[in-house]
Amino acid sequence: MEEKISILEDIDRRTRQKEKMEEARIRDKLDREYVNTCKMFGHSPDRLPDGLVVIEQATKYMQDRQKTVYYRCVVGHHKTVSGMMAHLISAPDEEWPEEPSWQYDKWNKCRWSYPHWMLWTRKEPEYEHETKWANDD
């Protein structure tokens, strides 16, 4: 029995090491090729231009731990009673394949969310204007 527990602990330790190495690789990539959107556009997400491709840094909770995840999204704006507000549209690609959980919200049938976490954009910003913000194709 102790041997089984020891093997499981070893597997868990290796999994966490792999996650840490992957996180370090992504952080290095962000530091080299990307910039925090606050530095380029200011602290209000509503100031981000439509179509701007961003990488959203978020936290995903998994069983007994949390994991930092990164989602490729496109910025858009929509009208509210308070004025225009920014939203993020999930736009995964081969480089950033993770899809956020709000992508599959069965209640509002939208594939967007308000920006809540840290956002990164390429040092030479990339734009994508063909993404729709609701599932009403």
Of 38-47, 95-104, 105-114, the least confident: 105-114
pLDDT of residue 137: 44
Query: Backbone dihedral region of 30: left (phi > 0), alpha (psi from -120 to 50 degrees) or beta?
Result: alpha
Of 11-25, 49-63, 85-99, 102-116, the least confident: 102-116
d(CA 137, CA 135): 6
pTM for the predicted model, two decimal places: 0.80
d(CA 76, CA 82): 16
Q: pLDDT higher for 58 or 117?
A: 58
**Residue 135 predicted with pLDDT over 70:** no
